[in-house]
Amino acid sequence: MSESIDKDLIRQLLDGTISDDDVQRLQRMPDKDADRFWQYAQVLQERVSWDDQILLRLNDHLYVVRDKAKNRIVKCDCGHEFGDYRINWKLHSLVRVRKTLDEFKKVYAPEPACPEPEWQEIREFYCPNCVAQLAVEVVPPGFPLVFEMLPDLDRLYRDFLGKPLEDEAPDWYEDRSEQLLAAWGQKLSS
């Protein structure tokens, strides 16, 4: 294998078509390729139809990107924008909640594997535009939405990738979900 990971292998890795031998070779490389993140980012970028810079992939459909106004936002591969990445994107998604055993049985089999109704609920989150399922959480009723990932992007790019982002600032790494919830609360009470 060449010193630098072949981009085609990364494409195969993302598609799930990579051979077992190639996976093992990737895993056993004594020195991990320093370019790997950048090649990965390029492969991701060539797969989306928009050109906002991908800073990090969050899951199969969502990315943190830098938009034209230099905001760091969460964006779906379909192009839908969820806003500031410091606010839990789930607050801007479509949510389906399953509460009853009958509803659980549609997604769990066999039945004994189902969560306990009333003690747990299943929340499914969907993109409001393309309706891709973006996440699922199984939690007690009333439990706050799980904020799965608030990456410290400045630190990642500066300390681990060696290429600091030009707009580094201490307030990029803070959870602002509460601010949105407070604003909604005010609207409700006014």
Using the rule CB under 5 A, which residue among 130, 136, 146, 183 binds Zn ion? 130
What are the distances in angstroms from CA 31 to CA 3, 39, 87, 168, 175? 9, 16, 36, 29, 35
Structure-derived torsion over alpha carbons of residues 163, 42, 148, 138, reported in degrees to the nearest 10: -160
C-beta atoms surrounding 42 within 10 Å? 14
Site residues for Zn ion, 159-178, by CB under 5 A, read: none
Using the rule CB under 5 A, which residue among 4, 53, 129, 179 binds Zn ion? 129
Question: Taking CA 31 as the corner, what is the angle to CA 4 and CA 154, rounded to the nearest 5 degrees?
Answer: 80
Closer Cβ to Zn ion, 39 or 133, answer by number: 133
Closer Cβ to Zn ion, 76 or 145, answer by number: 76
> Does the footprint of Zn ion cover residue 73 (CB under 5 A)?
no
> Does the footprint of Zn ion cover residue 127 (CB under 5 A)?
yes
> Does the footprint of Zn ion cover residue 58 (CB under 5 A)?
no
Owner of token pair 């990090």: 56
> Does the footprint of Zn ion cover residue 65 (CB under 5 A)?
no
> Does the footprint of Zn ion cover residue 76 (CB under 5 A)?
yes
How many residues make contact with Zn ion (CB under 5 A)? 6
Q: How far apart are CA 47 and CA 83, in angstroms?
A: 21
Binding site for Zn ion (CB under 5 A): 76, 78, 80, 127, 129-130
